[in-house]
Amino acid sequence: SQTIHQWPATLVQPVGSPLSLECTVEGTSNPNLYWYRQAAGRGLQLLFYSVGIGQISSEVPQNLSASRPQDRQFILSSKKLLLSDSGFYLCAWSWKGRGTEAFFGQGTRLTVV
Amino acid sequence: QKEVEQNSGPLSVPEGAIASLNCTYSDRGSQSFFWYRQYSGKSPELIMSIYSNGDKEDGRFTAQLNKASQYVSLLIRDSQPSDSATYLCAGGNTGGFKTIFGAGTRLFVKA
């Protein structure tokens, strides 16, 4: 069976500090990978998606970046965090192919102070 | 901007009743639709997928899709207090690589 691991579960970071969130998928190969952000009481905003190693598509202009150094590893980064970067960050994967459902990791609750 | 719209609620139903959750979408090219359940502080969990017009049943859950009206719904029969959560409607975009989520409907099931 497939599993997705995301860490850490919670994170408190000062403004201006760097960020690195990591996500790995097990039990499948060549998945589509996604980073979403959910602000309090809001829906999920797609930040980045990747269809393969080194292939990253950005959905929203921001000071975040994503990388996919290995087939089943997806990393979300920032060089300098802003207060507005606070939120619930979710990594997800889906099967290859169009219109397939996404499966989520446990999420990282980031608070920038 | 392709959107998925949901009533934010809260929707309150008594235990044992049918809960009806609704969603509309703007991308006429969308071919796949999903319902996720999200408990407070947790990540979304997929509960239903639907790709064709009509009804799809899975246990106490029934998803309904009407592509002509661009409308998706979720019925929960015999609602239980454990069904209390936020329900997210989502649709795959025309290109198929992205899933667009609604803001969610909060459901409360009163014991």
B66-91 per-position pLDDT tens digit: 999 999 999 999 999 999 999 999 99
Q: Would you state the pLDDT for residue B94?
A: 67
Q: What is the pLDDT of residue B31?
A: 86
Q: Which residues contact A89 (CB under 8 A, 6 or more apart)?
A: A21, A35, A36, A37, A38, A76, A107, A108, A109, A110
Distance between CA B32 and CA A35 in Å, rounded? 20
Report residue A34: phi and psi, to 5°.
-140, 145
Work out the minimum CA distance from B9 to partner chain A, whole angstroms.
Answer: 12
Q: Report the C-alpha gap between A47 and A58 in whole angstroms.
A: 6
Computed from CA positions of residues A82, A83, A85, A86, in that sequence, does the dihedral angle turn out positive or negative?
positive
pLDDT of A42: 78
pLDDT at B3: 87
Measured between beta carbons, the chain B residues lying within 8 angstroms of A104 are: 43-45
- Which of chain B's residues have a Cβ under 8 Å away from the Cβ of A49? 97-98
